[in-house]
Structure 1
């Protein structure tokens, strides 16, 4: 059994699995997460894919991805009702909780209806490593941009564990992000290309990383004079 992370930890990423492989190939981000959780010999990993409506194919693919490993895998689904009676206790017993891609707007609404927002906050406070891809990255912040409504638009009702905005798919959303920063819709904002991730300890960014070549991570800010600046973050390549 591992130990909780030393500090509340979030891995906000644009990575997770190579879904072109059968079974899915887990990104090295999972090994990184397990190390942060104390490097348990049999890490406990819970998969949440509310953003896909708990798509069974994704749940099955998750289990298959780790079937030949020593990882103890579970999932939490909320459709059409929770599959776990005491969700809070189950989540607190994990080393890592991984949130899948999908609709962040729908994910947040369903989580709040079931009180999962409060349970995840407790997990974060107690050192369970929280992470996720795309919607599973956006959810931890105050807001960001999403195509949950069809067209890409801002949302500002994220969980707010991290007091910043966040943008995924940044290579196609750079111009819109700069406009949102310039207008004051967002102030400080982090962003990732496909294959990049951000490691937050508490609310402090401590590392940016990638699982493939040329995947970038960024911080976009607005100066007092209204000028928008984009800082390219130093990215460490994760080894497979």
Structure 2
């Protein structure tokens, strides 16, 4: 990987109660990482929501009056790009939407997108996403992809840790899975509205786009689980 290999694993992205959606300041944070580009290029990947048309349209509307150059990748579409590596390799930020992470990972592997994303990461394209778009980058985590919340150790592994999103609702299952050895013994968790910025495998900072959203480092040593609250940087809206 390069020194510029960044992942923004978050539990935020858009205020979907607004019409159009309001982008979180996490996007501006990503663009600043890339060097304050005049026209940053963002690709939205909605595989986890079955390439939901309404979400794709809302994504475009969210950036309609900005200088952001938007695109999306719907693997179920007949007109999807044939050269995925070239298509994604030119982006500033690849943003994975929320939804069913297990299904998304399965589809990505069928299309070879898992390797394309690895290559993008190694060549400096910033990777990020919300909820499922956080879990996918880790070795494993806890998810409701199968109904009840349970451990799922089949992530891309770009980050060799465990991950939990919506932590307030999933703490017990996450810690139990770490105790049982179902997930890596070192992990990170976040509340809704928080996120984690990694450069390589190193945590750079915890961030949030709202008050009282926490992030945590969680480690297990046998039956002993330790939760360490992280200092969180609140991102301001412009």
User: Residue 23 in 1 paired to residue 20 in 2?
Assistant: yes
Of 53, 57, 61 in structure 2, the residue corresponding to residue 60 of structure 1 is 57
Shift of 1:142: 0.5
Aligned equivalents of 1:209 and 1:157: distance in 2? 26
User: Residue 118 in 1 paired to residue 110 in 2?
Assistant: no
CA shift digits 1:107-165 (9 cap, x unpaired): 00000000000000000000110000000000000110111111111110100000001
Q: Is the 8 A contact 1:50 1:77 kept in 2?
A: yes
Q: TM (normalized to structure 2)?
A: 0.96
Gapped runs of 5+ residues in structure 1? Answer: none
Of 146, 156, 164 in structure 1, the residue corresponding to residue 153 of structure 2 is 156
Q: Following superposition of structure 1 onto structure 2, how do residues 1-240 of structure 1 map, counting pairs within 5 Å?
A: 6-81=3-78, 83-186=80-183, 187-223=185-221, 226-240=223-237
Change in Cα spacing, 1:81 to 1:152, as seen in structure 2 (3 Å) is farther
Shift of 1:81: 4.0
Q: Is the 8 A contact 1:208 1:236 kept in 2?
A: yes
Shift of 1:86: 1.2
Aligned equivalents of 2:143 and 2:35: distance in 1? 33
Aligned equivalents of 2:178 and 2:84: distance in 1? 37
Aligned equivalents of 1:46 and 1:80: distance in 2? 15
Aligned equivalents of 2:72 and 2:154: distance in 1? 25
Aligned equivalents of 2:84 and 2:180: distance in 1? 40
CA shift digits 1:187-235 (9 cap, x unpaired): 1111010000000000111100000000000011013x53110000000
Change in Cα spacing, 1:190 to 1:46, as seen in structure 2 (3 Å) is same
CA shift digits 1:57-115 (9 cap, x unpaired): 00000000000000000001111446112111010000011000010000000000000
Q: Is the 8 A contact 1:76 1:82 kept in 2?
A: no
Change in Cα spacing, 1:92 to 1:211, as seen in structure 2 (3 Å) is same
Q: Give secondary structure in 2 for the equivalent of 1:35.
A: helix
Q: Is the 8 A contact 1:8 1:128 kept in 2?
A: yes
Gapped runs of 5+ residues in structure 2? Answer: none
| CA RMSD after TM alignment | 1.1
Which consecutive aligned stretches of 4+ in structure 1 deviate over 3 angstroms post-superposition?
Answer: none
Aligned equivalents of 2:117 and 2:178: distance in 1? 28
Q: Give secondary structure in 1 for the equivalent of 2:143.
A: strand
